[in-house]
Amino acid sequence: MHPKAIKKNTKMKIMTEEMIIAGFGGQGVLSMGKILAYSGVMQGKEVTWFPSYGPEMRGGTANVTVILSDDRISSPILHEFDTAIILNQQSMDKFESKVKPGGVLLYDSNGIVHPPTRSDIQIYRIEGTRIAAEMGNIKTFNMVVLGAYLKAKPVVQLESVRKGLEKSLPERHHKLIPMNMQAIEAGREQVELLSVQAMV
């Protein structure tokens, strides 16, 4: 019996990242998603940015779904996620169960009373509030969290993120870009990968 010729697969794997960022209005949830979406555009990816928020923007709940893909995106509406970035307990209660098995859940420890308990996903923790305060500007909180996410899942390059910041921020705020990039780097350096046992 002659061995069959093995046909080489020349197709590259298509990357698709379907994620939700969820927390309170005023935490920079929507702008974090927008910067990620712009970063994807800068890298030639197909993107969607789909915000959802309650009647009170600041202090009410807010979330945004972002899809980054090498291929055409059929719908911006998601019911389960490759990644969930969780910034308050209400969002943890709502979205922990909707992370796909094998996916990633990243949360900021401030305000989380009941940490995630699933053992079939990767769980990361970032102390974004503390790190931003230590940097002297609590408004960089969402960039610290973004940096933590990009360490866990480097779906876009840092140079694309810088370009995404330039695109999403008004020109008068471009002087803040170096500080935002420092916050991203701090998040990348200080994010923790947890096991379920470590959280008990």
What local confidence, expressed as pLDDT, does residue 25 receive? 82
Q: What are the backbone dihedrals phi and psi of residue 60, each rounded to the nearest 5 degrees, phi first?
A: -85, 175
Q: What's the pLDDT tens digit per position in 44-55?
A: 999 999 998 765
What counts of helices (H) and strands (E) characterise the chain? 7, 7
How does DSSP classify residue 12?
P
- 129 in Cβ contact with 110 (< 8 Å): yes
Burial 40-75 (b: 16+ CB within 10 A, else e): bbbbebebbbbeebeeeeeeebbbbbbbbbeeeeee
Q: Could you tell me the domains of the chain?
A: 16-199 (3.40.920.10)
Q: What's the pLDDT tens digit per position in 154-172?
A: 999 999 999 999 988 888 9
pTM of the model: 0.88
